[in-house]
Amino acid sequence: MKFLYPTFLIALLVLALPIIIHFFNFKRYKTVYFSNVGFLKHIQQETRKKSQLKHLLILLSRILALAALVLAFSRPYIPLSGRGKQSPRQTVAIYVDNSFSMKATASEGPLLETAKKKAVEIAESYGGGTRFLLLTNDFLPQHQYFLSKDQFIQEVTEIKGSSQPVTFSQLYNRASLALKGQNKRTDKTLYYLSDFQKISFDPEKVKTDTSLWAYLIPFEAPETGNLFIDSCWFETPGRKLMQAEKLFVRVRNNSSQAFQNIPVKLLINDSVKAIANLTIEPNQKENIELNYTNTSPGIQLGQVTLNDYPVVYDNNWFLSYQTQSSTKVLGIYTPENNGSGFLKALFANDEYISYEESTANNIQVSQLKNYQCIFLLNLQEISSGLQNELKEFVLKGGTLAIFPAPHCNQESYNQLYGDLQANLISGFSADNIQLSEINYQDLLYKEAFSKQEEEADLPQISNRFSFHERPEVRETSLLKFRNGEIALARTPAGNGNVYSFAFPLDQSNLEFARHIIFVPTIYNLALNSSESQVYSRTIINPNIVNFDAGVLPSSGNLKLVNTQSKSAYILAPEMFGNGQTRLNLTDEISEAGHYLIYDGQTPVVPLSYNYSRQESDLAAWHPNEITNLIKQKGLKKTECLDVQKDAFQETLKELNSGKQLWPWFIWLTILFVLCEFAIILFWKS
């Protein structure tokens, strides 16, 4: 037992007063004269022992009454979990989980509404001078300041559902940081109201704050299964007009029941393009395939959908892209060793690839951004200016294919390879050697051959280069020589790719240019080099979108339009390094769906947003499991409260000030006073 006001115990000195009065105020006997001694028969005789006992009981009652009264004013309490004496100054942070999973309905109604009511009850249990900090998944600007009780309650009533997933450690660390600047004599408390999904409760990542008490209040919903679309992706990069597309859809079944023949639909511009039936076992994932053809140019707004209740926010996946009529390819060559003729013959009259060529001396480097693929054909040297432009071209999403010239300036080539984090040239040999290995699993060759032969009849190569393979380089081998050295490799760099050929494309390798391997290698390399598009995004906070130079028009008349609600927002692009454009869409994007960036009245860029699938896994921790996790992770001053609705107010009072004992001492004071009166009135002399 501890006391809120222990200094008041000095008042126990008043217990000496009744003792002093008792010893100095003995009862005085009076002489009574009787005219008739017969009356003495009706007088009850009182012995000295009975008189002393009566006075001692009266004294004891007075002492106990005064002692109980002093203890009552000292505010005794039994502290909970060793929290001890609390300061009159209180700063309280209350987190209300407003994620999608809190839309689930329990016996008391939607979990979010129940949590909001509990948050108000918590606030009302504190005194008027308490400062409150409201935390939600949105991290709204108005929730970054301390509030009075009335302001806090008003903000709680305005909480709405949020698509932003937040982990326990993020909220705990944020609350700790926000409360750290408070007075050292101020008690700091965090209430965490949530359904405690397993995927978001991460106590192992918490940086424990010894000055902060945290109370975890779980809300349990009935167990519910969930069938949802996890992700979508295309088999090949680059979306072309009249191109047959293969879209893969991953569906997860987070439930204990199997689903049979669930239709999964693909809509493009509100027209059904493909339908597949899904059969999936409990707690499994399945990839299904949707096939269709791009029949119209320009912006394509896609939506994959299935039906599943009661969790519906993850039943749709939005994606968008722009189809291109052709891919622009540029060949840079030197007249002395012209390899461009081979490419001109391959791409002649091709409806999907538009091929242009230029000599290295006449190249307009400012126009490189207009191409998706560039071939360097047998250049003796790569100038520093061209190196810089090619580096920017690749980093922004372009594809660069390099055929080095025999006896070239290896230093200039290695400078470019080094800038693009590719392997460097280490040697040269004029000997003939045969190609012997094809990476059939790579996109370049995956569907190019009907039969995959281990010992295919491949061409002889002369004037080959060797590369120094570095472990830090993320390189994919596509073709190899018979001696095991790499003949063609792909290295990702920024948003683009570098294809490094270990031999020139000239008359010395005419056998390669006439071989069947030449067509899929060069054609697929160019066909799959369309500028990278982000087909779908996840709603996050903050929402910053970067665009490469040339993607957004330079005019200042840009606006963002929600295709469903038709609401429009004026955009303020920010320009930064290398002409890139940045848009801050944090305030504009809050709902999943399609958005279009307009230049005046013309849509120029599509954006498709989806809700995070983190909330789709509905598995949650039970209160006793939460308690065990807290102990295992060694979280000090953190407790899980399994609170029933009828006992919640009483629990809050005990949390704020411990188990209060002063009412019991008031009743004891009254009891001892009544005992004194009873002894005086009913103990007759």
Quote the tokens at residue 617: 């896994």
Q: How confident is the model at residue 610 (pLDDT cuts 50, 70, 90)?
A: very high
Q: How far apart are CA 629 and CA 619, in angstroms?
A: 16
Looking at 360-475, which runs of residues are DSSP E strands?
373-379, 399-404, 424-429, 433-438, 460-461, 464-468
Tell me the residue length of the chain.
685
Task: Say how many C-beta atoms besides its own lie within 10 A of residue 440's C-beta.
Answer: 16
Q: How far apart are CA 353 and CA 529, in angstroms?
A: 11
Average pLDDT over residues 55-68: 80
- Least Cα distance to 529 among 537, 517, 521 occurs for 521
Q: How confident is the model at residue 82 (pLDDT cuts 50, 70, 90)?
A: low
Contact 18, 62 (CB under 8 A): yes
Phi-psi region of 600 (alpha: psi -120 to 50; beta: other; left: phi over 0): left
Could you write out the DSSP letters of every residue in 89-100?
Answer: -EEEEEEE--BG
Q: What's the CATH code, domain 327-527?
A: 3.40.50.880
Q: How far apart are CA 166 and CA 614, in angstroms?
A: 9
Over 90: is that where the pLDDT of 169 sits? Answer: yes
The overall longest dimension of the chain from CA atoms, in Å, is 159
Q: What is the pLDDT of residue 559?
A: 93
b or e along 301-330 (b: 16 or more beta carbons within 10 Å of the residue's beta carbon)? bbbbebebeebebbbbbbbbbbbbeebbbb
Q: What average pLDDT does the structure give for the chain?
A: 86
Q: What is the pLDDT of residue 663?
A: 79
Q: How far apart are CA 622 and CA 637, in angstroms?
A: 20
60 or 429, which is more confident? 429
Quote the tokens at residue 573: 């692009």
Contact 214, 190 (CB under 8 A): yes
376 or 645, which is more confident? 376
Q: What is the pLDDT of residue 546?
A: 82
Cβ neighbours of residue 366 closer than 8 Å, sequence gap 6 or more: none
Per CATH, the homologous superfamily of domain 90-223+618-657 is: von Willebrand factor, type A domain (3.40.50.410)
β-bridge mates for residue 358, sequence order: 332
Q: What residue ranges of the chain are covered by domains with CATH 3.40.50.410?
A: 90-223+618-657
Q: What is the pLDDT of residue 672?
A: 81
Q: What is the pLDDT of residue 573?
A: 86
Sign of CA dihedral 230, 234, 240, 243: negative
Q: How confident is the model at residue 128 (pLDDT cuts 50, 70, 90)?
A: confident
**Architecture of the domain delimited by 537-610:** Sandwich (2.60)
Contact 490, 475 (CB under 8 A): yes
Q: What is the pLDDT of residue 314?
A: 94
Q: What is the pLDDT of residue 239?
A: 83
Contact 380, 408 (CB under 8 A): yes
Average pLDDT over residues 631-654: 76
Could you write out the DSSP letters of every residue in 544-587?
Answer: EEEE-TTTS-SSS-EEEEETTT--EEE---EEETTTEEEEE-TT
Average pLDDT over residues 250-256: 93
Over 90: is that where the pLDDT of 405 sits? Answer: yes
Over 60: is that where the pLDDT of 27 sits? Answer: no
b or e along 134-143 (b: 16 or more beta carbons within 10 Å of the residue's beta carbon)? bbbbbbeeee
Average pLDDT over residues 178-198: 86
pLDDT over 70 percentage in the chain: 88
Q: How far apart are CA 548 and CA 581, in angstroms?
A: 6
Q: What is the pLDDT of residue 129?
A: 85
Average pLDDT over residues 456-470: 92
Could you write out the DSSP letters of every residue in 299-323?
Answer: EEEEEEE---SS--TTSEEEEEEEE
Q: How confident is the model at residue 554 (pLDDT cuts 50, 70, 90)?
A: low
Quote the tokens at residue 248: 């893969």
Q: How far apart are CA 438 and CA 239, in angstroms?
A: 26
How far is residue 565 CA from its own chain's centroid? Answer: 26
Q: What is the pLDDT of residues 83-118, one digit of tens each?
A: 555 666 789 999 999 999 999 888 888 999 999 999
How far is residue 47 CA from its own chain's centroid? Answer: 86
- Least Cα distance to 325 among 349, 286, 346, 294 occurs for 294
Over 90: is that where the pLDDT of 140 sits? Answer: no
Residue whose pair of structure tokens reads 């290896």 in the numeric block = 410
Over 80: is that where the pLDDT of 31 sits? Answer: no
Task: Say how many C-beta atoms besides its own lie within 10 A of residue 48's C-beta.
Answer: 7
Over 90: is that where the pLDDT of 132 sits? Answer: yes
Domain 226-324, CATH 2.60.40.10 — does that match? Answer: yes
Cβ neighbours of residue 241 closer than 8 Å, sequence gap 6 or more: 294, 295, 296, 297, 323, 324, 325
Q: What is the pLDDT of residues 471-529, one digit of tens each?
A: 889 899 999 999 999 999 999 988 789 999 999 999 999 999 999 999 999 998 998 88
Contact 427, 467 (CB under 8 A): no
Give the DSSP H/E element, type plus range, for residue 498: strand 496-501
Q: How confident is the model at residue 120 (pLDDT cuts 50, 70, 90)?
A: very high
Q: What is the pLDDT of residues 313-358, one digit of tens each?
A: 999 999 999 987 788 999 999 988 888 999 999 999 887 889 999 9
pLDDT over 90 percentage in the chain: 50
Q: What residue ranges of the chain are covered by domains with CATH 3.40.50.880?
A: 327-527
Q: How far apart are CA 604 and CA 595, in angstroms?
A: 11
pTM (whole model) above 0.85: no
